[in-house]
Amino acid sequence: MVLFSALIYLVIALVLVHFEVFDFSLTKYGLPGWIVVAGVLLMLFGSLVDIPLAIRGRGRKKKKDLKSLFFVNGRKKAREGLYLNLGGAIIPAILSFYLLSQVSLVPALVSLFIVIILARFLSGVSALKGNWLHLSAFIPLLAALGLAFLLVPANPAAVFYIAGTLGVLIGAGLLNLDRIREAPLFIGGRGMFHGIFIVNVVFLLL
């Protein structure tokens, strides 16, 4: 399922490249088009990689290889613990911190704080979602978008991206560390990646 989603997002990314949306959106932030394309591809394929930071659970220890360590099979129930997604957490966080150096900090931090609060209280565990912590993709996105246009109407893209990505990663991820006993927590991965990738698409269109 994760692989299928990544392929769908890859098609979307290629369409955006074809219409030169990347270069139009990010040259004003000092990022050439090829870096953006490489970043999106790394994000898509990196979404398949969940790096285990803390794994809980009983049972005999099995011999681990790179595939079993970093690639969590979507058909099997993941062990309780904390996972960091390469494409949905690490890469967006790097871009967010870069953009923080390019914008006014006050509107960026205000937007980020509000989205963090929303993400924290809207995230939850649902058996229908695979029994892991998840978050609605659209509410944080719409909140970040509205705040960015309200606080920085002339150039909302960077503030929107910072709030929409770091807000979700911190609010639904880091602030839920106490809940990993209830369900696996995939920061930037399952339950979060779709929303974060949509933030990237909207960001490129602003």
d(CA 20, CA 67): 35
Q: Read off the tokens for 127.
A: 């058996």
Cβ contacts of 196 within 8 Å, gap of 6 or more: 88, 92, 164, 165, 168, 169, 188
Q: What is the pLDDT of residues 3-59, one digit of tens each?
A: 556 567 667 666 665 665 554 456 677 777 677 777 877 888 888 888 888 776 544
Most confident of 31-35, 145-149, 177-181: 145-149
d(CA 47, CA 25): 23
d(CA 172, CA 168): 5
d(CA 122, CA 20): 35
* More confidently predicted of 24 and 161: 161
Residue 99 has pLDDT above 80, yes or no: yes
d(CA 192, CA 22): 23
Q: Which helix (H) or strand (E) holds 50?
A: strand 50-55
